[in-house]
């Protein structure tokens, strides 16, 4: 992954030196050509293509924005009810993520989607303790959301 980015930068600089024109546009052209070369020779790399990983990050961002809007609308529906019929609850969510940044990202995503707040990470970093605003019917949907987030994060970190 990092080797591929370095190689791509090296190819871009090489393109600049070959054309002896040291401008930003030249560099960008060289970089795009480098992407093409790396795509063509993807069988030589043992790890994934970094463009693939970048695409996973973009997909995760789009998913997050979508979930943010949907969850805000659902919380709005809860708030403007004439009679509050909320059942707040804590529940434990077992995660399969291991890295620090993965757990932090997942917790931030869960916290930023309204209705759920991560209050604690267990000492062995294997489960998150989540406070949910309404446990009546949301438990299953929330679990599906978590699976979508967790899947997307795993998609990013897959080597």
Partner 1 sequence: MKINNVILQFTAKIVFFMIFFYAVHIFFAGHYTPGGGFVGGLVTASAIVLLIIAFDLKTVQSILPINYIYLIASGLLLALGTAGIAMFTGKPFFTHFFDYFNLPILGKTSLHTAALFDLGVYLVVVGVTMTIIQTIGEDE
Single residue of 11, 60, 103, 153 touching partner 1 by CB under 8 A = 103
Q: Does 153 bind partner 1 (CB under 8 A)?
A: no
Alpha helices in 80-95 (DSSP H): none
Q: Does 118 bind partner 1 (CB under 8 A)?
A: yes
Q: Does 101 bind partner 1 (CB under 8 A)?
A: yes
Q: Does 157 bind partner 1 (CB under 8 A)?
A: no
Q: Which is nearer to partner 1, 53 or 107 (CB)?
A: 107
* Strand, coil or helix: 141: helix
Instruction: Report how many residues bind partner 1 under the rule CB under 8 A.
Output: 13
Task: Calculate the dihedral angle through the C-alpha atoms of 101, 97, 151, 39, rounding to the nearest 10 degrees.
Answer: 60
- By rule CB under 8 A, what string of x and - marks binding of each residue 48-87 to partner 1? ----------------------------------------
Question: Chain centroid to CA 108: how far?
Answer: 10
Rounded to the nearest whole angstrom, what is the least distance from the CB of residue 124 to partner 1 in the complex? Answer: 8
- How far apart CA 145 and CA 83 sit, in angstroms, is 27
Q: What angle do CA 153, 42, 57 make, to 5 degrees?
A: 20
Q: Does 140 bind partner 1 (CB under 8 A)?
A: no
Only one residue has tokens 């063509």, namely: 40
Would you put residue 20 in left (φ > 0), alpha (ψ -120 to 50) or beta? left
Q: Which is nearer to partner 1, 24 or 40 (CB)?
A: 24
Task: Retrieve residue 80's tokens.
Answer: 């403007």
Rounded to the nearest whole angstrom, what is the least distance from the CB of residue 107 to partner 1 in the complex? Answer: 5
Which residues are at the interface with partner 1 (CB under 8 A)? 100-101, 103-104, 107-108, 118, 120-125
């Amino acid at each position: 992954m990092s080797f591929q980015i370095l190689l791509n930068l090296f190819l871009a600089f090489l393109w600049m030196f070959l054309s002896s024109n040291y401008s930003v546009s030249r560099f960008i052209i060289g970089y795009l050509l480098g992407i093409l070369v790396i795509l063509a020779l993807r069988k030589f790399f043992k790890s994934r293509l970094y463009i693939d990983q970048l695409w996973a990050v973009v997909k995760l961002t789009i998913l997050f924005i979508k979930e943010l809007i949907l969850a805000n609308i659902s919380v709005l529906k809860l708030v403007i009810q004439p009679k509050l019929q909320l059942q707040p609850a804590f529940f434990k969510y077992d995660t399969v993520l291991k890295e620090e940044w993965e757990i932090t990202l997942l917790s931030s995503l869960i916290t930023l989607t309204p209705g759920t707040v991560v209050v604690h990470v267990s000492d062995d970093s294997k489960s998150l303790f989540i406070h949910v605003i309404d446990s009546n019917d949301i438990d299953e949907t929330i679990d599906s959301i978590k699976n979508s987030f967790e899947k997307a994060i795993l998609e990013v970190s897959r080597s």
